[in-house]
Chains A and B, each alone.
Chain A
Amino acid sequence: MIRLLALLLAAILAGLVYGEVHLPLSAIRQWDGAAELLIGVIRAPRVAVAVLAGAAFGLAGALLQSLLRNPLASPDVLGFTSGAGLGAMLVVALGGGAFSVTLGAASGGVLAALAITALSWKGGIVPLRMILVGIGAAFTLQAITQFMMTRLTEAEAVEAARWLSGSLAARHWGHAFQIGLCLALLLPLAALSLRALRLLELGDEVATGLGLHITRARAGIAALAVALVASAVAVAGPVPFVALLAGPLAARFGAPMLTGAAVVGAVVTVLADLAARGLIDGVQLPLGVMTGILGAPYLLWMLSREMERGRL
């Protein structure tokens, strides 16, 4: 865990210091006008949003993966993220402000989660059915989102396209404050859900025997994950794969399940954003393209492993 926190600190520093415009160390030390503008106004809020949104994605992924006992069950694979993206996009198209975009993302996420759960229901939640339905639903939701974009003016469409691929360009302190507030409300609930998860992982019968109301606990944890995804989508767009990668990567570091996934989510997002804006000279790629490059091979590897084990 200490290694992960050190990594996060290093990633944050790198995110502040490196960028398209090179800033000599002497300028940073003197904190002149250029440093103030580049770091204080442009990069710091961007890195802050990356840390907070990445942590929210990572946490949401770990919650769902643990709830459904399947490493594929992250909100992006299950289609929740696409639902939140569509909801937010509709509000953006209608000209809503920051608060209503968050609400739009939350409603989209909740509706997608309910629809996907209902469509895959077979006398209860069957994780693999839910994953397959979710993958299909994600494509459908993205198609609807694309269709909605044709209804926008060209300028709006360009802006929407950039946002939909998951981007941290032009984030300001207002965005950081917004996701910070959401996390301040949701993190205590995540701490509470940890105890329920520890019982649920012993199986439904043992958990019931130990006095857990399993249906209520499941619904609560799923709702929490959707709320976390919606908060992150509202400020960073539907960034793919961070939620999927964070939990398993944290486990590889031997870090505690939820806090580890939050820190890894933050590290991955900050580093991916750094790569997105610095990898190709003069080109600012959206963050989502970078996490896609990282995450897609991992998803393929996971799918083939699950198939080999005969679980898919």
Chain B
Amino acid sequence: MRLQAKGIDVAYDGRRVIEGLDLTIPDGKVTAIIGPNGCGKSTLLKTLARLIRPTKGQVLLDGQDIHAAHTRDVARKLGLLPQSPLAPEGITVADLIARGRAPWRSLLGRWSPADTAARDAALAATALEDLADRPIAALSGGQRQRAWIAMALAQDTPILLLDEPTTYLDLPHQVDLLRLLGRLNREQGRTVVSVLHDLGLAARFSDHVIVMSGGKVLAEGPPSEVITASTLATAFGLEAVVIPDPIANTPLVVPV
């Protein structure tokens, strides 16, 4: 397994958010990290993405401490989409996606055919070909989020980390986006890890679910094993009945 956390403590704003956490991200699967507000799920994702340095323990990428590796080498293996990123004024879709090529370009290196190929593949995967020359500011919320994902795709990394990628989208666009992530996983074999808010969507569109509570991993495994009435009661304090989804047979949470 390529991405692991070993006994990490993480503090944020001087407060300890994560304590003694061990975790292995399954390769080639779609993983969702869920949990109540303030449980440390975003902090965990940022720590896995080397944005935050753990105060104890280490995050390992291919067996090496992620903070000991050269940041550019890490950027060739691990892509990141933070929560609601801000695009600079006037930037176009194609220009934003092109910046995703940064880790593959040398200091003085010119734009290469490989860069063009990666950009075009990212445009195609996110169905943004017709909008390539539009400014990001002129896009709808769903299109804008797809443009950011396209930037992360152009980075061409086997692992993709996303922090609440469905925030501020309406339900059809949330479903579109999660289907897109599923396709990237199936067709290109990428490992996808997202922090998600919606339990139903996490259950429906993931192979592996990590439930966090109070800075610890409470349960992890396939959605049908993890999303149960007792886990929901412990993690969220939510009294609910879990029934099989009539379409996909994945767990469906019905609050009591």
Contact surface of A with B, Cβ cutoff 8 Å: 192, 195, 198-199, 201-203, 205-206, 208-213
Contacts and interface: CB of A to CB of B under 8 A. Distances in A.
A213 B107 CA distance: 13
A211 B99 contact: no
Given A202-B87, A203-B85, A203-B86, A209 B99 contact: no
A209 B72 contact: no
Interface string B101-133: 011010110000000000000000000000000
Given A202-B87, A202-B88, A205-B51, A213 B71 contact: yes
Contact of A209 (B75, B86, B88, B96): B75
Contacts of A211: 71-76, 102-103
B141 interface: no
B155 interface: yes
Given A210-B75, A211-B75, A205 B85 contact: yes
Given A205-B82, A206-B80, A199 B99 contact: yes
16 contacts: A192-B107, A192-B108, A195-B107, A202-B88, A202-B99, A205-B80, A206-B82, A208-B49, A209-B51, A209-B81, A210-B99, A210-B155, A211-B73, A211-B75, A211-B102, A212-B71
B223 interface: no
List the 7 closest A-B pairs by CB distance, nearest first: A211-B75, A209-B80, A211-B72, A211-B103, A205-B82, A201-B88, A210-B102
Contacts of A202: 85-88, 96, 99
A209 B107 contact: no
A203 to B, nearest CB: 6
Contacts of B216: none
A203 B82 contact: yes
Given A205-B51, A209-B49, A199 B85 contact: no
Interface string B66-94: 00000111111011111001111000000
B50 interface: yes
B182 interface: no
Interface of B: 46, 49-51, 71-76, 78-82, 85-88, 96, 99-100, 102-103, 105, 107-108, 151-152, 155
Given A195-B102, A205-B85, 10 more contacts: A195-B107, A202-B99, A206-B82, A208-B51, A210-B75, A210-B99, A211-B71, A211-B73, A211-B75, A211-B102
A200 to B, nearest CB: 10
Contacts of A208: 49-51, 71, 80
B114 to A, nearest CB: 16
A89 to B, nearest CB: 38
A245 to B, nearest CB: 19
A300 to B, nearest CB: 23
A195 B79 CA distance: 19
A201 to B, nearest CB: 4
A33 B1 CA distance: 82
Contacts of B87: 202
A231 to B, nearest CB: 24
B200 to A, nearest CB: 28
B79 A209 contact: yes
Contacts of B88: 201-202
Nearest to B161: A209
A203 B163 CA distance: 15
Contact of A199 (B51, B74, B82, B102): B102
Of B46, B96, B102, most A-chain CB atoms within 10 Å = B102
Contact of B103 (A192, A198, A210): A210
B85 A212 contact: no
A203 B84 CA distance: 11
A60 to B, nearest CB: 20
Of B71, B72, B73, most A-chain CB atoms within 10 Å = B71
B90 to A, nearest CB: 9
Contacts of B81: 206, 209
B255 to A, nearest CB: 34
Nearest to A207: B102
Given A195-B102, A199-B102, A206 B85 contact: yes
